[in-house]
Structure 1
């Protein structure tokens, strides 16, 4: 996300890959995690980025309005709304045992108070398809997008937004709960905290374009309070989202169904550099009240892509010691181990690495990244940290928010016209790790 607060595009930092290649890494890394069927190996996708034609959402309007901060509209995306069984079959072919995906609020409640039984039935079929393939379904109730009507009334900038989100979660759980394996309320609930850490959003031309886009959406919909989560005011949204998480978690836990409910956080490594560095300040800003919220959840989803180096004056630029990803931040797998340790120390709940990945057209680099990040997880487990899963982002080359379709995180390429899926060699690397754990 580069002109909006997508963690994969905005995280800054630098460092080095510790291995010269997979062969050398295999000789030096500790034994990989072996936790039998209790350890989850999987991939993640989101609803809006993969399903396609999410026309009742705020993002659909923002992608198609002028001016827009988005390089491409999402359009058909990967057509996963229709092709989900093919995607699940690929996950099974890779030896994975879980599948993380989102349910789309805008499909389920396209107008305020009007819930679509057809949409809920669709997600019942997806969940049943997961179970039929012995994939534990991990459901994300919100992955950034909201219904257009919700954005028009102020989104999470208005206090009762928390109650409306909890109502959606309760209604969805009534239908889907008995089939859900695990769930998170929000994806990267503290994403706007990361935005606060990155002051360029307040001044650069892309941010100005994003503000113009929101203003245009407000005019188009005659909604002066229009607010989209990714582009909203952190000072107004934070408290409402914390309330929304607490209320949604209670609503989901009320059932039906009996499954762990957590929250995923963007947790980039923060490295202090030199005397009087502001690393602690950056951490407080990035996490806000979400560490406390995670402590009151069943588990925390750690989502890590790189590091941030912080000096006495704030964020430092890349130091040039390692290559950058196609997203412009540093290819730094040790950040995964660092954030898992941070979560263990400051949250103390069971940990799932619900996302890590690399945006690159170099699939060999992706394979090395997978090897290196799996090794980081192994080291944390060897230290006694309660890490219960490794999920790569993402299964598919999908819609990467403001970057459109130019950036590739997927283990599987998707033809933009035919939607043909082509499994990349890096997917076989993840498969080898999963199968070696006898899962």
Structure 2
């Protein structure tokens, strides 16, 4: 048995575009994800978030499920196009939905944890070049400041951005996410503007002197390991780490971009003339906590004729339905490294979970033992880190509901609650019932 501290925050997480639906209701205008998902060939089966889990209309039912599971906290994101459907125009109706949602959570003794930006940039901002336009930082500040003003006093935890790597490099460089561009110079400009908007939002938050509330960021971090112990493979692993992890950790905690990555990227994108002298001091504003989203590791082999001098190699462990290797010990490695190299501030695992091919059996249930094992093993290593003095304060399971899984549409199921997307019926999977027991005991049993 592994026991967790009494104040350890067990929660679940979702995001607005993945669950809300109600794409055209109460003044909401399209986001770049509405546009992207409706562009031929961009998502599995042409799936969109128009309806998703219909959470916009079913939020009370979903909060009832949270209550039944017994979670202490619920991490959700706010849809920017609901709050500012046009440039400079605030939409009170959009805000009202989140006020009702938060009221319902508080009524049920569930702590609301708000992500300000989880990728659904308003299309009006996208039409003006989105995160490539430095003005987007000001639009984001107008939006985040309004949120602080409207609900700052009732939200104890704020997350400025979810996974800036995905919102910049995956979206503007690799092209798998909205807006679907494939230009690495654009990707690094977008990443810098997102990080700068984070730092400026933290400063606004501090200036507003919001009581009993904290602010941080959620980074997707993937430990990189060399395929062999050769000098070349170690170099490839170092670059892979720089690409996914250090490019975001270093500016936030060290006030600089990694020099080796700047030299590497320069060959591809030219000069970093979009970075101003004072930007890094803004980006490295002190934060109250770090959120990490962890799913898997990467194994890298040297390959000369690639941007990062390496290619991914499959690991030998079991895989999830996403094809991601299950490597819970890598979570421990990551936590220890963060503790040693970057920060001693509180850390929260803001996402961790797995997609599997869930089916409803004849008894009307979903027996997802693989997911239970996945979560259990990751919690075991999280607990080991805590026992060794690590400052890990909470765990948010991804995800509460099966949902719109971005480019994968509805083909991947991450939820601990099964959603029949035809009827919107919810079924608690075995993992939800197991998680309830874990939360109730504040321990895992092996």
TM range (shorter): 0.7 to 0.9
Q: Is the alpha carbon distance of 1:162 and 1:153 closer, same or farther for their aligned partners in structure 2, counting shifts above 3 Å?
A: same
Q: Counterparts of 2:169 and 2:143 in 1: how far apart (Å)?
A: 26
Q: Counterparts of 2:79 and 2:395 in 1: how far apart (Å)?
A: 24
Give the conservation status (yes or no) of the 8 Å contact 2:131–2:190.
yes
Q: Counterparts of 2:242 and 2:341 in 1: how far apart (Å)?
A: 12
Which residue of structure 2 lines up, in the alignment, with residue 414 of structure 1? Answer: 419
1:153 matches 2:148: no
Which one of the candidate residues 208, 212, 218 is aligned to 1:258?
Answer: 212
Q: Counterparts of 1:118 and 1:354 in 2: how far apart (Å)?
A: 28
Which residue of structure 1 lines up, in the alignment, with residue 191 of structure 2? Answer: 238
| Alpha-carbon offset, residue 256 of structure 1 | 4.3
| Alpha-carbon offset, residue 194 of structure 1 | 6.3
1:98-137 matched pairs, under 5 angstroms? 98-137=73-112
Q: Counterparts of 1:153 and 1:232 in 2: how far apart (Å)?
A: 17
Give the conservation status (yes or no) of the 8 Å contact 2:141–2:200.
yes
| Alpha-carbon offset, residue 345 of structure 1 | 2.2
Q: Is the alpha carbon distance of 1:155 and 1:231 closer, same or farther for their aligned partners in structure 2, counting shifts above 3 Å?
A: farther
| Alpha-carbon offset, residue 65 of structure 1 | 2.7
Backbone CA RMSD of aligned residues: 2.5
Q: Counterparts of 2:42 and 2:337 in 1: how far apart (Å)?
A: 37
Q: Is the alpha carbon distance of 1:186 and 1:231 closer, same or farther for their aligned partners in structure 2, counting shifts above 3 Å?
A: farther
- Which moves more between the two structures, 292-301 or 39-48? 292-301
Q: Could you say what secondary structure the match of 2:164 adopts?
A: coil
- Which moves more between the two structures, 249-258 or 48-57? 249-258
| Alpha-carbon offset, residue 342 of structure 1 | 2.4
Q: Counterparts of 1:65 and 1:132 in 2: how far apart (Å)?
A: 41
Which one of the candidate residues 417, 420, 428 is aligned to 1:423?
Answer: 428
Which one of the candidate residues 23, 29, 35 is aligned to 1:54?
Answer: 23
| Alpha-carbon offset, residue 42 of structure 1 | 0.6
1:161-176 matched pairs, under 5 angstroms? 161-176=136-151
Give the conservation status (yes or no) of the 8 Å contact 1:336–1:373.
yes
Give the conservation status (yes or no) of the 8 Å contact 1:143–1:187.
yes
Choose between structure 1 and 2 for higher RCO, CA contacts under 8 A separated by at least 6 residues: 1
Q: Could you say what secondary structure the match of 2:393 adopts?
A: strand
| Alpha-carbon offset, residue 67 of structure 1 | 4.8
Which one of the candidate residues 317, 325, 334 is aligned to 1:322?
Answer: 317
Give the conservation status (yes or no) of the 8 Å contact 2:83–2:95.
yes
Measured against aligned partners, the alpha-carbon deviations of 1:123-154 in whole angstroms (never above 9, x if no partner) come to 11111111111111100000011101011101
Measured against aligned partners, the alpha-carbon deviations of 1:59-111 in whole angstroms (never above 9, x if no partner) come to 11221133534531122110111111211111121121000001110111010
Which residue of structure 1 lines up, in the alignment, with residue 370 of structure 2? Answer: 365
Q: Counterparts of 2:40 and 2:109 in 1: how far apart (Å)?
A: 45
Q: Counterparts of 2:89 and 2:350 in 1: how far apart (Å)?
A: 31
Structure 1: stretches of 5+ with no match in the other structure? 1-25, 202-206, 216-226
Measured against aligned partners, the alpha-carbon deviations of 1:19-62 in whole angstroms (never above 9, x if no partner) come to xxxxxxx5xxxx232x21x2100100001100013342111122
- Which moves more between the two structures, 150-159 or 343-352? 343-352
| Alpha-carbon offset, residue 162 of structure 1 | 0.8
TM-score, scaled relative to structure 2: 0.81
Give the conservation status (yes or no) of the 8 Å contact 1:343–1:351.
no
Measured against aligned partners, the alpha-carbon deviations of 1:380-413 in whole angstroms (never above 9, x if no partner) come to 0011100000110000000000100010000001
| Alpha-carbon offset, residue 121 of structure 1 | 1.5
Q: Could you say what secondary structure the match of 2:439 adopts?
A: helix
Give the conservation status (yes or no) of the 8 Å contact 1:94–1:430.
yes
1:351 matches 2:327: no
Structure 2: stretches of 5+ with no match in the other structure? 25-29, 254-285, 304-309, 359-367
1:308 matches 2:298: yes
Q: Could you say what secondary structure the match of 1:43 adopts?
A: strand
| Alpha-carbon offset, residue 247 of structure 1 | 1.1
Q: Could you say what secondary structure the match of 1:59 adopts?
A: helix
Q: Counterparts of 2:424 and 2:18 in 1: how far apart (Å)?
A: 14
| Alpha-carbon offset, residue 306 of structure 1 | 0.4
Measured against aligned partners, the alpha-carbon deviations of 1:280-318 in whole angstroms (never above 9, x if no partner) come to 222122235421454321111010000001233323321
| Alpha-carbon offset, residue 235 of structure 1 | 2.4
Which residue of structure 2 lines up, in the alignment, with residue 87 of structure 1? Answer: 62
